[in-house]
Amino acid sequence: MRFGIVILPEHRWPEARERWLRAEEFGFDHAWTHDHLSWRWLRDEPWFGCLPTLAAAAAVTSRIGLGTLVATPEFRHPVPFAKEVMTIDDVSGGRMICGLGAGAGGFDGTVLTGRERPPAERADRFAEFLYLTDLLLRQPVTDHTGRHYGAHGARMIPGCVRRPRVPLAVAAGGRRALRLTAEYADLWITNGTPGRFDALPYREALPLLARQQAALDEACAEVGRDPATLRRLLHTGATVGGVLDSPAAFEDAAGSLAELGFTDLVVNWPREQHPYAGSTAVLEKIAAELARIATALPTDPPR
């Protein structure tokens, strides 16, 4: 199993830099940040841009994967977004992970238009956003005229360090989004119940996560994909809780999730208060055990 951590873009760079460096020193496989213009609970608090933060993190780290958790069509267009993803991949030497999702409405969706897009429209925009982003990252020149986006002679030169493109990680829960995940993604992301913000203890969440896994396997079958070729990531903290209560809880959660078929487990850098309230001391103790825990878990969880 691979382990990751989310670092919110809420601190000025001298302090943020130390967290990204420590995440790498702790031994995490990947580190992520949220891509919002502002974020629900911290809307009036300090908040920096996701992609510049990842570029800065890429420049000071050397090993850890770096990802968006997640970028959405709410305020992004695939052409400039793909160019920035390609650039961060270059700065990092091929460590960028492009995390994408449909978005959940709210400020990110209304700040540019003044209106809330209905769920069906968000789903349609995301399908085209994902299709075009995948296309842009794969080829040097792209032409596309769609319902929501256009790309006319869009250049992506020299392209991603990794070929054919950086890994795509897609957040999905519904049937349509899971099918898109099966078609395009290298990594599936779930955080449990979409729209839920009272964290359920991880053991109580296991039946739901098992059902989501089964639905993803069905989506893979529909598109003719071997489900074993798709990595599966759980982002804990908002809807699945208790994982960072203690080193023992973290190890138990990792083992339970590996048995369900999860390949990646992501936690959050603990904050002093909600959201993601927790203890940095516990995180440090967990970090000391990461290599042992990863070695003890199966490298290829059962499907």
Arithmetic mean of pLDDT, 256-260: 97
Contacts of 23 (CB under 8 A, 6+ apart): 5, 7, 31, 64, 269
Distance from C-alpha of 46 to C-alpha of 107, rounded to nearest angstrom: 16
Question: What pLDDT does 301 receive?
Answer: 53
Angle at 30 between CA 272 and CA 266, to 5 degrees: 55
Task: Please name the residues in contact with 94: beta carbons below 8 A apart, sequence gap of 6 or more.
Answer: 160, 161, 162, 166
Q: In degrees to the nearest 10, what's the CA dihedral of 13, 15, 17, 22?
A: -160
pLDDT band at 104 (very low <50, low <70, confident <90, very high): confident
Confidence of residue 45 (pLDDT cuts 50, 70, 90): very high
Q: What is the pLDDT of residues 165-177, one digit of tens each?
A: 999 999 999 999 9
Q: Percent of the chain, pLDDT > 90?
A: 90
Indicate whether 295 pLDDT > 80. yes
The arithmetic mean of pLDDT across residues 33-49, rounded, is 95
Domains delineated in the chain: 2-296 (3.20.20.30)
Tell me the two tokens of residue 57: 């993190």
What mean pLDDT is predicted for residues 81-88?
A: 98
* Separation between Cα atoms, residue 120 and residue 179, nearest integer Å: 16
pLDDT at 193: 82
pLDDT at position 302 is 52
Residue 297 pLDDT > 80: yes
- Euclidean distance between CA atoms 8 and 157, whole angstroms: 31
Q: How far apart are CA 263 and CA 209, in angstroms?
A: 13
Mean pLDDT over each residue of the chain, to the nearest integer: 95
Rounded mean pLDDT of 176-201? 91
Prediction pTM value: 0.96
What's residue 26's pLDDT? 98
What are the tens digits of pLDDT across the range 211-255? 999 999 999 999 999 999 999 999 999 899 999 999 999 999 999
Q: What is the pLDDT of residue 201?
A: 95
Integer Cα distance of 16 and 92 in angstroms: 17
C-beta separation of 48 from 7 below 8 A? no
- Work out the average pLDDT over 137-141: 98
Q: State the Cα–Cα distance between residues 202 and 243, nearest whole angstrom.
A: 7
Alpha-carbon distance 61 to 52, whole Å?
14
Q: Is the pLDDT of residue 195 over 80?
A: no
